[in-house]
Amino acid sequence: MNRATRWTQVLLLTVGVDCLAVSVSAQVETTTQTTNGAPTVTSQSASGTIVYLNGNDVIIKMDDGSLRHFSNVSPTTTAMVDGKPITIKDAKVGMHVTKTITTTTTPQTVTTTKTVTGKVFNINPPISVILTMDNGKNQQFKIPKGQTFNVNGQTVDAWGLKKGMLVSATQVTEEPVTVVQQQAKLTGSMPPPPPPPPADQPILVAVMVPPPAPAPAAAPAALPKTGSEIPLIGLLGLLSVALSLGLKAVRSN
C-alpha cells in the first residue's frame, strides 16, 4: 500500500523521551475525513451440473469438464432456483448451478488532521522546539524541513520563534486506501423431467401367448427285440385248417 503524506504547518512529529504519551494525546486535536473515488465493479462466474449428492457433500461437473468436490456445504447456503431460495437438502442430481462473484473495488483517501498548540519554552532552530502545553508540561518536538508556524495569525519559520510565543502547528496526512467488497450469488435450475411418450403409442402392451401344444407320441420304428413272427404264422395255419374242415362239411351234406 502506497502512502502519500502532505504537510501543512507541520510540527507534531516526534515527542521527546521526557514527555508523557497521555499528555500528548490530551493536547492534540484529531479529525479524520474519508473521500471515496469512483468504484470499479467486476464479475466472475462458474457453472456446472451436480453429478453426485450425498447429504452435504456435492460433486459438480464444471462446464469445462473438470470435477469439483464441495464437502460439508452449509445448510444455510441458498441458491435461487425458479425464483425460490433452496438449500442443499433441496438440491438434486442433474441440477445446473451457477456461482457469480461480484467484486467492488473503491479507492479512498483518508485525510487525518492533527493540531497542537503551546507556548514556546525553548527553541533550537531549525531542529527542535519545546512547548509548554495547557497542562503545564513541557514537550519537545522535532521540526521538519520547511516547517512554518502560525503566530498571532502570521506565518513564521523556526528562526522567527521566540520564547513565550503562543504557537500552533497542524499535521495533515493523506493516506490512499482501497476497500474491496465481494458478493457471491448462487443460482440454479432443476433438471428437466423425462420427455413423455408420444400420444399415439401405448406405454405398455400385454400380449397373451398360448402354451405350446404337446407333441404327438412317435410310433416305434421297429418291434422290440423280444417280439417274434412265429405266433402270427401259427395263427394263420389254424385259420387255414378250420376253413378246410368247414368246406368238407358243406360238401358232405
Q: Is a pLDDT exceeding 60 seen at residue 228?
A: no
> Who contacts 26 (Cβ-Cβ below 8 Å, separation ≥6)?
135
Asked whether 136 and 126 are in contact (CB, 8 A), the reply is no
Mean pLDDT of 54-63: 93
pLDDT at 130 over 70: yes
- Overall size of the chain counted in residues: 253
Look at residues 30, 27, 28, 29 and name the one whose alpha carbon lies nearest to residue 111: 30
CA distance 112 to 40: 25
What does the pLDDT average to over 138-156? 83
pLDDT for residue 76 is more than 70: yes
Dist. CA 42–CA 74, nearest whole Å: 26
* Per-residue pLDDT at 8: 35
Going by DSSP bridges, is the β-strand pair 96-124/84-86 parallel, antiparallel, or unpaired?
A: unpaired
pLDDT classification of 136: cutoffs 50, 70, 90: confident
- Grid coordinates belonging to 190: 432443476
Q: Does 69 score more than 90 pLDDT?
A: yes
29 band by pLDDT with thresholds 50, 70 and 90 = confident
At 84 the three-state DSSP class reads: strand
Do 27 and 134 touch, CB atoms closer than 8 A? yes
With beta carbons less than 8 A apart as the criterion, state whether 70 and 144 touch: no
Report field, pTM of the whole predicted structure over 0.85: no
Q: Rounded CA gap, 232 and 236, in Å?
A: 6
Whether pLDDT at 94 is above 70: yes
Task: Name which of 75, 106, 109, 102 is nearest 91 in CA terms.
Answer: 75
Instruction: List the domain boundaries for the chain.
Output: 21-37+108-178, 44-103+182-189
Quick one: pLDDT band at residue 241, thresholds 50, 70, 90? low
C-alpha cell at 39: 468504484
- Reported confidence tier of residue 143, pLDDT bands at 50, 70, 90: confident
CATH of domain 44-103+182-189: 2.40.50
Cell numbers for 173: 496526512
Given a cut of 50, whether residue 17 has pLDDT beyond it is no
Alpha carbons within 13 angstroms on the beta-carbon side of residue 73 total: 21
* Overall average pLDDT of the 15-44 stretch: 67
- pLDDT at position 45 is 93
How confident is the model at residue 145, as a pLDDT? 81
Average pLDDT, the chain: 78
pLDDT of 225 over the 60 cut: no
For 183-203, how does the pLDDT look when each residue is reduced to its tens digit (9 = 90+)? 999 998 888 877 776 666 555
Alpha helices in 171-227 (DSSP H): none
Express each pLDDT in 111-129 by its tens digit. Answer: 998 888 888 999 999 898 8
